Structure 1
Amino acid sequence: MDRLAVIIATRGRPALVRAIVDWLGAQTRPAERIIVVGTQPADIAALPEDRPGLTVRIGPAGLPRQRNDGLRLAGDAYDGIVFFDDDFVPSRFWLEKAVDTFRAHPDLAALTGTLIADGIKSPGIALDDALARVAAHDAALPRPGAGLDGRFGPYGCNMAFRTAAIRGLSFDERLPLYAWLEDSDFGGQILRRGGRTARAEALRGIHLGHKAGREQGLRLGYSQIANPLYLAGKGTLPLPVAANLMLRNVTANMVRALASEPYVDRPGRLKGNVVALRDILRGRLAPERVTQL
């Protein structure tokens, strides 16, 4: 694997995406190309368009659409494609170890990393804190282990793919907006082709979990029901997994609705769950319906 492209979809976080792009300059094995896809000029206003190796574009909003735009821009010019969220801080060894792992395992189609911390389950992690923690981690463990866990598929904030293994695949644009579970669907498409996916111990980083720019409340609650059922019907998410996800989310929203975490709109999510369940009874449940809420 000789050439890498990193694709970052961004929306509403111009300063943050600039910081992440700058941080990628410290990789021990830099990418040949960084592609940032925003939804409006303000999203990419902080990025220097004349920076060598950086491609900046504006396209239709929606995570799958933006990632597909990135894939089209990359084409077949790169042996590997890496997706980072605009709030993910990778170890400076991330790209180097991804290339090493793909070379050591020719049957691997996709890799995802092992998180030092994930702010999506909390109010979020400050960028400066994450940068310091990742730098300290790299200093303490300059050459992390190479263990693989094949039970895991790609996790959207940090995932890498062998280009040859995903040729002709795309992120499902029926999953609009923030597109919950679009990573699981993409991984499921790879598995149906007979590709192998794994989580790598060597690929470390911190997901800030910033809430700005994400879909919350009512819409996310609807997607918590609509998206798993749609993907189960499509065959990219096993039905037992889809059922477990829905049950866990509805239960959590019910239990915590009266005493919601300050960073989570549990009442809104629960309302979205109820709207989706009603749509099932009416025969009109569809992931796209979230855009009408």
Structure 2
Amino acid sequence: MALYSFSKRKRLSNLLCCVLFICCFFRYKHFLRDLTENTSPDNPEFQQLSKTVKAVSEVTQRIQDNARSHENHLQLRRVQKQLKGRKTRILTPGRRYIREGWLKTVPPKGTEAKPKMFYLFSDILLQAKPCSPIHPFNGDKFACQQIYPLKECTVDKVFGHTKSQGGLISLTFARAKLLLMSDDQGDINDWYRSLCLAIGQLKSKNTVVHRRDELRRKPIRSEPDSQNTPELQQTRGIKRTMMLDEEVREHRENTDSSSSIPSTGESGYSATKRLKPNQAPAARPQESSGSSCVIL
């Protein structure tokens, strides 16, 4: 028992030290920022102070992001424990908790509005009802009834149906329509702003991701980057040069064999024999002899 209490006190002291360090770190950031703003740019220490302020600001921003992420994780775990069973999964990466509260759902047939518990997250709206209070295990929990995705949701205010008592908002989804009412005008206005903000952020995020995917697409006729490496281009150039040299060599051989006509001996006979009839000369020249004479 004494060992347990000692370890517990040690954890508490470590946590207190971390909190004090974070508080002092934030004060140190403000102190450095004020010192830099009151330092002349001509001062030789101005550059070093500016770099220090930038580094300290990055660290403090990281600490704040981690704190918000931890708090959001705790909220998701709390909501998960409030729901009955494990079928509904709340702990999902990238999901943020926004708010929760009681709202009345107005049925389309005009019957009495029933209060329901709603949980608003960054991507879904969860509707739940309280479990039976006489249940031995789930008396203080909620049963999930419906999950509405905010990706294809539009929200509108409905005027003239509450007689200046509270408010009414309309939610239109891909396959459902929901009318939510509250007797508190300020509460329904807060819900309306939270829903509009969550839907707008979700749609803008999907648009940015879609544009990035389109920018990453390559033309249809372009070759992949893996086929345009410098080594592969050099190999292709060598092969193309060898093929051109071979074609030029064959062309020269064909040209020399077709244009050369020997004048004496058996080679001349064979060359004459290879000529076609229509390519034969009109008159055979006289054979040359050892002595030549000129007739005047």
TM-score range, shorter chain: under 0.3
More RCO (CA 8 Å, sep 6+): 1
**Which of structures 1 and 2 has the bigger CA Rg?**
2
Structure 1 length as normaliser, TM-score? 0.20
TM-score by length of 2: 0.20
